[in-house]
Structures are given as C-alpha cells and as structure tokens.
Amino acid sequence: MSIKDLELKSIEYRKKILEIIFNGGAGHTAGSLSCIDILNVLYNKILNINPNNFSSYDRNHYIQSKGHSVEALYTVLCDKNFFSKDDLLTLNKFNSHFIGHPTKKIPGIEHNTGALGHGLSVAVGMAIGLKLNNKNFKIFTLLGDGELSEGSIWEALLSANKYNLDNLVVIVDRNKLQITGRTEEVNPIEPLKDKFNSFGLSTREIDGNSVHELNDVLSFTPFEKNKVNVIIANTIKGKGISFMENQVVWHHKVPTEEQYNLALNELEKLKINIEND
Amino acid sequence: MIEKANLEVFADTLLELARKDKDIIVVTSDSRGSGKLTNFGHELPDQIIEVGIAEQNLVGICAGLSAVGKKVFGVSPSSFLTARSLEQIKNDIAYSDHPVTLVGISAGVSYGQLGATHHSIHDIAVLRAINNINIVVPADNFETKEVIKAAINFKHPLFIRFGKKPMIKLHDGDHNFTIGSGIKLKSGKDLAIIATGETVQRAFKACELLKKIDINCTLISMHTIKPFDEEIFLNSISKVKAVITVEEHSVSGGLGEKCASVMMQKNIHLPFKILGFPDEYMVNGSQKDVLDHYNMSAEKILELAKNLIK
Ligand SMILES: Cc1ncc(C[n+]2csc(CCOP(=O)(O)OP(=O)(O)O)c2C)c(N)n1
Ligand SMILES: [Mg+2]
C-alpha cells in the first residue's frame, strides 16, 4: 500500500469512526481520531495480523492499552475482515459484544483493556515469552499520554529495560489532552523523551498523524539492539475535524446529526485534496 | 418526584461545606469532571489536589493529607478507586485509621456499555472484608446530602458510593439520617425488602405495585452496609412471610449475603432471595437494561414476591 493509499485509508477510517459513534450513541471520539493513523500504519504495513494467522502465537501482536479508543480499533479490524460491518453497527446495543472497550469476545482483539495502565505490563510479558521461545516476532502497544501517570507504566518500563526487550514497541499517543484538560496542567510529564531515555530506552519522536513518518519509524525496529523501542507520536486529539481538534469536550462525546454531516463534509474535502495531490 | 442525581447533590453539598471550612480538601485523579467538581475547582482551587490518572497515588495522598489534619475526600470512579488502590485503602487508610472519605462515583453498572473494566460490583464485598472502613450507599438525594455532611467530622475511614442518574424522592422529610442506622421507608406484614443505594428506588416502585394486589411490604433503605444495622433488619423481618434483598452489586459478598448470614446465625428461616449480579460474564447494555436483565425491575420484583409468599 502506497503512502497515498494509506492517507486515503485514514480518511475512510475517520468516517467509519464517526459513523459507529453516531450510530451507537456513545464513544471516545477525539482519542480515536488522534490514534487512527497509528493503527492504520500498524495494521496495513507492519503487523501482518489477519483472521487466518490470528490464532497463532507466532506472529506480531498488538495490545491497545488506551482501551477507550476502541472505535479506532474496531474500525481497522472490520476493514481487515475480522467481522462484518453489520456486526460493528451493533456497537453499544443491548447484548452486543461490541462495547466501549476492547474485549476478546471480538475477533482480532488480543487483550481486554479499559482500565488504564495495564496493557504495557501485559505486552512486556508477551515480549519476554516470545524471546524465551526464540521467536522473532514483535509486540506493539499503544498508550495514552494521560495514562502515563499510572505508576504501573513505569514499573513495566523498568522490567522491559531489564530484559532488553528490543522486540517491544511502545507507542505513546501524545495528544497532550486528557479528560480534565491539558496533560501539562493536570499532571506534567515533560520532558518525556528524557524520562524514557533515562530509563535506558531508545526513544524516537515523530508526527503521529503522518502515515509517512509512522511508516518510516515503525519499519525499522529495533532502533538499537537490546533496547526497548519507544515512539512519542505527537498527535492532535480530534484530528481531521476542525471543530473537534484540540477540544477537551470531545474526549467522550457524540456528534449531533448536524455536526456529523459537517464532519463528513470536511473529510470528503480532505479526501479530494489527497486524490488530486 | 424526580430530583437530581446523587452525584450532583454530593458535589453541591461538598462545595457548600468547603466554602466554610478551608480544611476540606478534595483529591481527584482526572476525575473532577466525572465527579461534577469542575465548579469546585474553579471556586476553591486551593482546596483541590489533582494527581492525574493515578488512583493508588490518590489514596496514599489522601492518607497523608489526613495525617496532617485535613478533612479529605478522595473522589474517583468506584471501580478504579476500590480495585486498583485496594492495598492503599487497606493499609494507608483503614489499618492506619485515617478518617478519609473515599467517594466511589459511577458505581455499580452506571457506566453501562463501557463494560466490565468500569463496572464496580465488587467494591462492597472487598471493603466489607477489610477492618475499620465504613460503607455507605445512599439511596436518594436526602441520604446523599446527609452522608456528606456527616462525613466531614466522621472519625474513621468511610467509603461512599453512588451513580449518576436522577433519583426519585423517597423520604418525606421526617426521617433521621445516621451512619450505621437503616431507614424504614414502608411498613407491611407480608414481605420485607432490604435494599441499598439506587436499587431502593426500584424496590420502592415494586412495593407500590405489590400494594395494589394487597401484598404489604416493609422496605428498608440499608444505606450503611458496614457497620450493619442488625436491629432494624431483625425488626423488619420479625413478622413477615418472606425476605428479598436488592443491590447493584455482585451477589457474592454484598448486602444479601450479609442478611443471610445474620438470619442463619439467629436461626431464622424464611423464604429468602438475593437480587444482584450473578457470577458470570455479564450481559452488555445500559445501566437500566442490565439491572432489568438481572431481575431488578419493579415488575420482576413483584413476580418474585408473589412466588415467595405463595
Ligand atoms: C485506571 C483508570 N482510571 C481512569 C480511567 C478513566 N479514563 C478513561 S480515558 C481517561 C483519560 C485518558 O487520557 P489519555 O491517556 O491522554 O488518553 P487520550 O487523550 O488518548 O484519550 C480516563 C481518566 C480509566 N479508564 N482507567
Ligand atoms: Mg491524551
């Protein structure tokens, strides 16, 4: 898939995210829009996970620790044919397995998340296990930047460094917002890169809404032999929809019909721009 | 009459009290919006401590603030507050006897479709098993306001939990609220319903339906789960033909099992049924749909009551 194709995919995914949230009446809208480019590149270029190999241990793995952005994950898994579009439209309906956080009841999901600060330790366990089995596969995990306040994250990083987990790729969705407001006001985490490096990790910082930069950085891991890979993906919460970008209220909010149509129009314009580029 | 959500009453009451008492401190973990404490933060910025998404840290900091004389309210979703920070609650609050009030918001299945990670149907059970922490689950606005007022000068650890939906008014004004004493909302000789928290509302409606078919119920709002008000419980079941308990919590280790254990040890044998969530992978849906599914609607309670006293 070319970079241009990936960019078009991101537009299609953003539309789908909005559709399922609008239809399901609930969703973590802005955080799904901030990380969708990351998931796009992972699932279409890097991971090589599909319904045929999913049941095997011997493949790459993805754990979404910031589970609340499940709409982004559902959208990509649907596109990878793990389940049908009709199934996905049962999101939030009574008795549906499609709920507001990842569960293994849904094909393609590897771990139940939703309480923040759990995914990284699980990913560390998987990375150690694959090394013990002498397998060359990698574990990718996605964290929120607000999530980094959980102490368990830093416990997990100590273990990851101790076991030289260069098969672990930790991606931080650095959208600089959480529920209450800006991360640097709620609980400052900067200088973040220095913190990671001081833990012995190998850290790269990129534009996390650029499929081009994502593809470049994710294609060449490990960054350094025997070192844990960390990617600070600078993103925009609500990316792609002008009135959602950087707006704290869109953390968990459903667009009205009017807002939904406006958003689709904006995405359609972006799509035409990319096609004509 | 429909009133406010208990959550709103909690936030309004706390703000009112904190304006007059600089020692009242609220601690949040990216939870001030969910706790309706945004206004509190604007008006009394020096009386709110924000720790970020770090619930264990929150509970430890609450203990520390209390250790130097502050009147502390730790406010976070009940699920994270009582599961993730359980050891801090056990050691730093309960065992160390710091009179902190921990407020579990969006308790039970208030989070609906957000699912099991967010449901808090274990909190009563785990805290019941820990010495020296009191547990209060208010049923309506009146009980919520009263428990927050009482919490300010309460001398020991206290845990309070509630949801976020508007409540109906249950009390007609002539009830007293004391932590540790259940409240009799209705008297009747056929059946006793012992409920706690927002399920009292559902039980209340069931009692009204039952009255229409001449089944008269005693209804107790057992807002304090610990210490358990044995006296009002034994009184309420002394003349009835059957007992039903209702709680927005797992049937394991909750109000119902507490009632059963009291009855067994007093040699009281009556038809008895616990309504709560079974030990299974729970159905997904809104709070209302989930409660209805597990037989906690007024109509289902009515059917159950008819069968029990037959
Ligand atoms: C342990 C835990 N505490 C609190 C929450 C509630 N919560 C859900 S999302 C969120 C904010 C997350 O912020 P961030 O990690 O920055 O995610 P993003 O901005 O990407 O949405 C919080 C506090 C949770 N899900 N888990
Ligand atoms: Mg964020």
Q: Distance (Å, rounded) from C-alpha A205 to C-alpha A217?
A: 9
pTM for the full predicted model: 0.97
Is the bond preceding B227 in cis, omega lying within 30 degrees of 0? Answer: yes
Counted domains in chain A: 1
Tokens linked to B148: 């927050």
**Contact residues on chain B for A187, CB-CB shorter than 8 A:** 30, 50-54
User: Which chain B residues have a beta carbon less than 8 Å from that of A99?
Assistant: 113-115, 284
In angstroms, the CA A75 to CA A109 distance is: 12
pLDDT at A217: 98
The DSSP element (H or E) to which B124 belongs, if any, is helix B123-128
- List the single residue in B56, B57, B284 with the smallest CB-CB distance to A95: B284
Nearest CA in chain A to B78: A115
Which pLDDT belongs to residue B58? 98
How much is the mean pLDDT over chain B? 97
Residue-wise pLDDT tens digits, B148-196 = 999 999 999 999 999 999 999 998 767 899 999 999 999 999 999 999 9
What are the structural domains of chain B? 2-168 (3.40.50.970), 183-309 (3.40.50.920)
Which residue matches tokens 């997904």?
A: B284
- CB-nearest to B113 from A26, A147, A180 is A26
pLDDT in tens, A175-216: 999 999 999 999 999 999 999 999 999 999 999 999 999 999
Question: Among A17, A179, A183, which is best to mutate for testing ligand 1, by the most ligand atoms less than 8 A from CB?
Answer: A179
Residues 6+ apart with CB under 8 A from B295: B275, B301, B304
Question: What pLDDT does B172 receive?
Answer: 77
Residue B310, pLDDT above cutoff 90: no
Nearest to B80 among A95, A115, A151 (CB): A115
pLDDT of residue B175: 87
Mean pLDDT of B12-20: 98
CATH number for the domain spanning A54: value is: 3.40.50.970
Q: Give the DSSP letter string of B26-77.
A: EEESS-TTTTT-HHHHHH-GGGEEE--S-HHHHHHHHHHHHHTT-EEEEEEE
Whole-number pLDDT of residue B30: 98
Using DSSP's 3-state secondary structure scheme, residue B273 falls into strand
pLDDT at residue B11 in the model:
98
Q: Tell me what pLDDT residue B201 has.
A: 97
pLDDT at A231: 99
Over residues B240-266, the pLDDT tens digits come to 999 999 999 999 999 999 999 999 999
Residue B1 confidence class, pLDDT cut points 50, 70, 90: confident
- Coil, strand or helix at A249: helix
What pLDDT, in 10s, does the model give residues B85-134? 999 999 999 999 999 999 999 999 999 999 999 999 999 999 999 999 99
Determine which of B113, B119, B282 to mutate to test the interface with A (most A C-beta atoms within 10 Å).
B113
What is the edge-to-edge ordering of all strands in the sheet holding B158-161? B48-50, B24-28, B71-77, B101-105, B158-161, B134-136, B224-226
Per-residue pLDDT of B123-133, as tens digits, reads: 999 999 999 99
Nearest ligand 1 atom, CA B30? 23
A249 C-beta neighbours (distance < 10 Å), count:
11
CB contact under 8 A, B114 and A100: yes
Low-confidence spans in chain A with pLDDT less than 70: none
Q: Domain of residue A100: give its range.
A: 3-276
Residues framing ligand 1 (Cβ under 6 A): A 28, 31, 34, 66, 68, 114-117, 144-147, 173, 175, 177-179, 237, 251; B 30, 53, 80, 84
Q: In the beta sheet, which residues pair with residue A232?
A: A172, A205
How far from B107 is each of A40, A190, B45, CA to CA, in Å? Answer: 35, 33, 26
DSSP category for residue B114: G
B97's tokens: 């006897």
- Report which protein residue has its CA nearest ligand 1's atom 8: A68
Cβ neighbors of B33 (< 8 A, separation 6 or more) are: A179, A180
Residue B75 has pLDDT above 90, yes or no: yes
